[in-house]
A and B are shown apart, each in its own frame.
Chain A
């Protein structure tokens, strides 16, 4: 279960393709097309930031409410975890 304190990390076997700006992240299971916000979330996933921290960055960059941004982040990361494009660990600190 992903929560605000979870720390997502890209799996190194996740495949990324950029078809003229349309970015698709895939794995051996399935693929997900990323819209502009989803792409930014993918870029912010670095194995160090928590879901809440990614949400906070998004809120600032896209001028949306932090709680909603964190929820959107959690939702997308759930999809990416399901297709095995990321791993999610609980916060260590």
Chain B
């Protein structure tokens, strides 16, 4: 596929909506016990580029098994996530198969009670699960509208935002501690790296608290532009992210300044 998208985001999405069911049926990718099919991912979100694939989600009652399919492990029962890669009209489509039971289990992990009952809420959620939950929020249903609406409503009522926010803040705290320890031992270079990671997690916590659930650094600019959090204007984020003001002769000063910014942002990030 060329670097230039043949069709821009909304057109690509509309095209995929039109083609999905026929494409899945013709390639025997639509099991009989399918409960829902929906599209999501960066193209649907409007952030896709020429190399972005179309993400299709198929929810079934029973696990899919097929020779030649790709498998990923998720901390669920069943633990296999099946991914079929297909090409439709020059587009690459990633088709993920999740069972209804796996979705139940993911919803349980982000129930409001989890935040109250566990200091480790969110830690057992893998990147695949997190992406799934994020993408459920803005997907486009092609089949099984009732299932899709019900799950979206459940997600809205879940504790996903405070759980992911608290989780990101906890990780940021860990890297903050690391950075200070490194400064204390004279390992300034490692401290610079640690504080950059801490800042990334703080930004993610802020974005989650604003409804941007996925944790993928490459989309931070788009998410910040969309969420426009008052606590962190885009220009300020970019200034820190690109290390403006960093003095190679005095890196410790920059580390401390960013740690201070992280602490100030923590105050502005509401958990819950």
Where the two chains meet, the residues of A that have a C-beta atom closer than 8 Å to any C-beta of B are 10, 12-21, 23, 42-43
Contact = CB atoms under 8 A, between A and B. Distances in A.
B266 A16 contact: yes
10 contacts: A10-B263, A12-B180, A12-B256, A12-B259, A15-B266, A16-B267, A18-B267, A18-B269, A18-B270, A23-B267
A44 to B, nearest CB: 13
Contacts of B177: 13
B263 A17 contact: no
Given A17-B169, A17-B266, A18-B266, A12 B271 contact: no
A12 B266 contact: no
B232 to A, nearest CB: 14
Contacts of A43: 267
A33 to B, nearest CB: 13
B263 A12 contact: yes
Task: Give the interface size bracket for B toward A.
Answer: 10 to 19
Contact of A13 (B180, B268, B271): B180
Contacts, number: 36
B199 to A, nearest CB: 13
B259 A20 contact: no
A9 B261 CA distance: 14
Given A19-B272, A20-B272, A13 B267 contact: no
Nearest to B265: A16
Contacts of B266: 15-18
A20 B268 CA distance: 10
Contact of B271 (A10, A15, A19, A42): A19
A17 to B, nearest CB: 6
A52 to B, nearest CB: 23
Interface string B151-186: 000000000000000000100010011001000000
Contacts of A14: 263
B195 to A, nearest CB: 10
Nearest to B269: A18
Contacts of B176: 12-13
Nearest to B263: A16
A12 B266 CA distance: 12
A23 B180 CA distance: 23
B144 interface: no
Given A12-B176, A13-B176, A13-B180, A18 B268 contact: yes
B221 interface: no
A12 B270 CA distance: 20
Interface in B206-253: none
Contacts of B260: 10, 12
A18 B263 contact: no
A38 B205 CA distance: 24
B222 to A, nearest CB: 25
A27 B72 CA distance: 39
B180 A21 contact: no
Give the residue among A12, A13, A15, A19 with the most B Cβ atoms within 10 A.
A12
Contact of B270 (A13, A21, A42): A21
